[in-house]
Amino acid sequence: MPRIVCVAGARPNYMKIKPVMDALERRGAEVVLVHTGQHYDPAMNDVFFADLGIRRPDRFLGVGSGTHAEQTGRVMTAFEPLLDEVSPNIVVVVGDINSTLACALVTAKAGPLLAHVEAGLRSRDWSMPEEVNRVATDRVSDYLLAPSPDAAENLRTEGYRDDQIHLVGNVMIDTLLANLERAQASDILDRYALSRGEFGLVTLHRPANVDDPEVLTGLLKALGEIAGRCPLVLPVHPRAAGRLAEIGVPGGIRLVPPAGYLDFIALQDSARVVLTDSGGVQEETTALGVPCVTLRDNTERPVTVEQGTNVLAGRDPVRIVATVNQVLNSPPAPRRPDLWDGRASDRIADVLLAGGTAGTRPRPTDQPGTTGLSSFVDQPRPTDRTFPI
């Protein structure tokens, strides 16, 4: 059986890598878990490992925070000798954080096969660092593991080979369904004196929303107006805590500490509506059948709008208030996309273990007749091609 390195670095990765590791190990693969340490705050790290039952990492790189270049460079510098020492057949990276791109680049040059979980997601918003990370990671990957048909179609449009693209479903939902009963047993509603269906849940963490005081002030104004109709609970992301304190939070918005995975799922499952700028929350609310209003102008997960409970509101305060009122008056019907069935990780493991070993599978540009990199690079940077709100 092959040796497979699975990489995680931050909260959005943990829910994605756990079911993949489990599925591979059930099939007898040797799995080496590498934690880059991109998230190192216990509230954003340790509690999720405990909640999800993730074993201690085999290797911890401890890269910490910094600018995008510093963080990416530190991960690459630490991961390169590890890869040489471990000599895996396959490296699995998930999502779109800096650790994902850094480990992908090192792997592509070192020789093992590279698998990208959540390949093909596109916001077409190049101001998002995550968009750069996911596009570049896909470019150097051997296995493109797409969570939804739109993601697979994005990859075909960009010129990837059909044998690279695998529509496997959403691993986030594997974790959600496996832990939903435990989450529903959480006492977090009692701790915060909340009643099911009588509060809204808010998450804010994206730089475009929390780093610009003018934008954040506008969002808080909208949230304050919404809170007059539906009280809001806002678990405070470390990125946003200081800025929220500086600006001040309107009445009706209750700030609470960051929640662990089980507690946060319990809050989502019990909320009347969720307001978020998180891609993962868009997916989780769709799976739970809970109305979601996304505080962004675009989404890399349009399936949550087309086949789920998500509505894009943008960042204009007037539009946000109007959208939330409409959702509260007429909630979208619960819908769950195909292949969001809790079996995505099994399909991923089957794909990876059926393939060749390092050095035997051609890279994307090695194939004669492929449209290759030029077909994507020659396209204009699509800043005006966003999923419509």
Q: Pick from 304, 356, 342, 353: which is nearest to 24 by CA?
A: 353
- Say yes or no to pLDDT of 375 above 90: no
Point out the least confidently predicted range of 28-37, 59-68, 220-229, 264-273. 59-68
Q: pLDDT tens across 90-135, in order?
A: 999 999 999 999 999 999 999 999 999 999 999 999 999 999 999 9
Q: pLDDT tens across 188-211, in order?
A: 999 999 999 999 999 998 888 988
For residues 50 and 259, is the Cβ–Cβ distance under 8 A? no
Q: How confident is the model at residue 17 (pLDDT cuts 50, 70, 90)?
A: very high
Q: What counts of helices (H) and strands (E) characterise the chain?
A: 17, 13
On the CB side of 259, how many CA atoms lie within 13 Å of its CA? 23
Looking at residue 337, the DSSP 8-state letter turns out to be -
Average pLDDT (11-31) is 95
282, two tokens: 């868009």
For residues 371 and 225, what is the distance between their CA atoms, to the nearest angstrom?
51
pTM: 0.89
- Say yes or no to pLDDT of 385 above 80: no
Residue 327's pLDDT is: 98
Residue 246's pLDDT is: 87
Q: How confident is the model at residue 362 (pLDDT cuts 50, 70, 90)?
A: low
Average pLDDT (332-345) is 95
Instruction: Please provide the distance, in angstroms rounded to a whole number, between the alpha carbons at the two ends of the chain.
Output: 47
Q: What percentage of the chain has pLDDT greater than the value 90?
A: 79
- Say yes or no to pLDDT of 147 above 60: yes
Residue 62's pLDDT is: 86
Residue 48's pLDDT is: 85
On the CB side of 361, how many CA atoms lie within 13 Å of its CA? 22
- Say yes or no to pLDDT of 55 above 70: yes
Catalytic residue among 68, 116, 205, 237: 205
Q: pLDDT tens across 272-300, in order?
A: 999 999 999 999 999 999 999 999 999 99
236, two tokens: 């405070």
For residues 211 and 216, what is the distance between their CA atoms, to the nearest angstrom?
7
For residues 303 and 148, is the Cβ–Cβ distance under 8 A? yes
Q: How confident is the model at residue 39 (pLDDT cuts 50, 70, 90)?
A: low
Average pLDDT (243-263) is 92
**Angle (CA) 140 145 146, round 5°:** 115
Known catalytic residue at 166: no
Residue 65's pLDDT is: 80
Residue 241's pLDDT is: 82
Q: What are the angstrom distances between the C-alpha of 261 and each of 45, 115, 343?
A: 10, 25, 20
Mean pLDDT of the chain: 90
Under DSSP, is residue 378 helix (H, G, I), strand (E, B) or coil? Answer: coil
Point out the least confidently predicted range of 42-56, 229-243, 250-264, 329-343. 42-56
More confident residue, 176 or 46: 176
Residue 207's pLDDT is: 87
The 3 state secondary structure assigned to 102-114 is HHHHHHHHHCCEE
99, two tokens: 């650790």
Residue 205's pLDDT is: 87
Residue 279's pLDDT is: 93
For residues 387 and 389, what is the distance between their CA atoms, to the nearest angstrom?
7
Residue 380's pLDDT is: 38
